[in-house]
Amino acid sequence: MKSVNKILALLITASILLASQMGLAQEPTNDVLPEELSVAEVDPLLANDVELMPIPLDQIKAFANIFMRIKHNYVQPVSDEKLLEYAVQGMLNGLDPHSVYLKDERFEDLAEDTTGRFGGLGMEVMMEDGFVKVVAPIDDTPAAEAGIQSGDIIIRIDGKTLSGNSLSEATDKMRGEPGTSINLTVLRETEPDPLEFELKRAVVNLSSVRHKSLSDEIGYIRVSQFQLNTAENFRKKVKMLREKDKFGGLIIDLRNNPGGLLNSAVSIADAFVTEGVLVSTRGRSELNSQEFVATANDMIDGKPVIVLINEGSASASEIVAGALQDHDRALILGTESFGKGSVQTVMEVDESQAIKLTTARYYTPSGRSIQAAGIEPDVVVEAREFKKKGASITRIKERDLDGHLENENKPSESTEAPDLEETLARDYQLNEAYNLMKGLIRFRSLPVKVTEDLQAKQ
């Protein structure tokens, strides 16, 4: 971190020195300093810390020239601090959509995001082609409850256009005091006209892991984000579900999960894989090139797993899905994921500012990069809505006949959750996952000879 501070200080010092030498001259002189200046010549101590290429003085001179022209000619005064802050923002924004400058409130927001408590609307956004795009709304937040969807483009906040705003400026406008209202205007691919949403900001306390039993055999865990305690809570939920005597399989729902902490994702994948690489990262430095290897433990002893994903499943969600898919440990069901295959590292500059910089790409166990490609599900199921059938003729069955014989066996009690039918009727993809899981559990319970015969026929 000291090296980063020194580099920033060096560049700023060089710029100011050059600016003072140029003054307000219309054309900078080129005979004051050499064309290139090594780090050691400017700061010998810094050269001992890091290996750097010579500083390109022509570009530094141009920067200093522009800096001075803005400082003295802009329509209203701008402080040196602000100009340098804008310069840093521009450097990072120009790299990729995920490298950003974090200062003051934005720096504090980073800590809030990883711990799961912040004030605002509750959605992950990114900058794409100059527009603020929703990656995914987060469960049980104002954004999700209002109907904001993955892929929505936010074009106005409270009637004011976002054109020309940076991502941090846009998110700052969306955050605010809990209870205050905000109006968003969004473009949606499936709608011909812009949509208007009125939301009320709230203190968002994210419970990133929720669970329930769909039946005595099938457990369900929803992970909405990967935070500091997500993996620990996830493992606790798995232990609770597997305690049922008839437990036979687990559905993990990662839809509209925008990602989060890499270590949390690795820990969750490790809960089901017993050997081999779970994910690897490759960057320019050795520090950013790592392999994460599974430990010899499967929390549910090889029972089937289905993972639900969609276009809002990004980053850490794709790490989990990719690891389980490559190890043939889970069936991936849903639609193609978002495709964010890069790793960001937060580098603190001082107590109030930091940069979040893309430092590596990550790869699934088979060596796939999903950057801008996403995870392809094994079973493609689009999101659909159930519609009740119209009036139809009800066919007569044996039990409808007068004097029919009663069944001598008492009907078995249903092991399904009381609200299961309603839950599945609202969620077509979950319904398909549930039916598929029932088939997988049934297949595993068949006698070995029958199972081998079925496999031989395929």
Q: Which of 113, 253, 270, 326 is catalytic?
A: 326
Three-state secondary structure of 222-262 = EECCECCCHHHHHHHHHHHHHCCCCCCEEEEECCCCCCECH
Active site residue 340: yes
What residues pair up with 251 in beta bridges, in sequence order? 220, 306
Residue 138 CB contacts under 8 Å (≥ 6 apart), including other chains: 122, 123, 124, 144, 204, 206, 224, 225, 256, 258
Question: What's phi and psi for 249, nearest 5 deg?
Answer: -175, 165
Round the CA-based radius of gyration of the chain to a whole number and report it.
28
Contact 423, 222 (CB under 8 A): no
Q: Which residues neighbour 418 within 8 Å (Cβ) at sequence distance 6 or greater? A: none
Closest to 321 measured CA to CA, from 269, 372, 390: 269
- Residue 188: CB atoms within 10 Å: 16
Question: For residue 369, what is the DSSP state?
Answer: B
Q: Residues 22, 68: contact at Cβ < 8 Å?
A: yes
Cα–Cα distance measured from residue 420 to residue 313, given in angstroms and rounded to the nearest whole number: 24
Residues 6+ apart with CB under 8 A from 31: none
Q: What is the DSSP letter of 66?
A: H
CA 448 to chain centre: 41
- Whether 378 is catalytic: no
- Looking up tokens 């990550």 gives 362
Q: How far apart are CA 39 and CA 339, in angstroms?
A: 38
Beta carbons of 178 and 202 less than 8 angstroms apart: yes
* Beta bridge partner(s), residue 128: 131
SS3 55: strand
Token pair recorded at residue 48? 């001992």
Say which of 315, 317, 337, 342 is annotated catalytic.
Answer: 315
Q: Taking Cα atoms as reference points, which of 338, 375, 342, 374 lies closest to residue 361?
A: 342
CA distance 67 to 52: 24
| Phi and psi at residue 206, to the nearest 5° | -80, 125
Q: Give the span between the Cα atoms of 153 and 131, in whole angstroms.
A: 7
Concerning whether 172 is annotated as a catalytic residue, the answer is no
Could you tell me where the DSSP H helices lie in 271-395? 316-326
Catalytic residue (one of 103, 303, 340, 356) = 340
Active site residues: 315, 326, 340
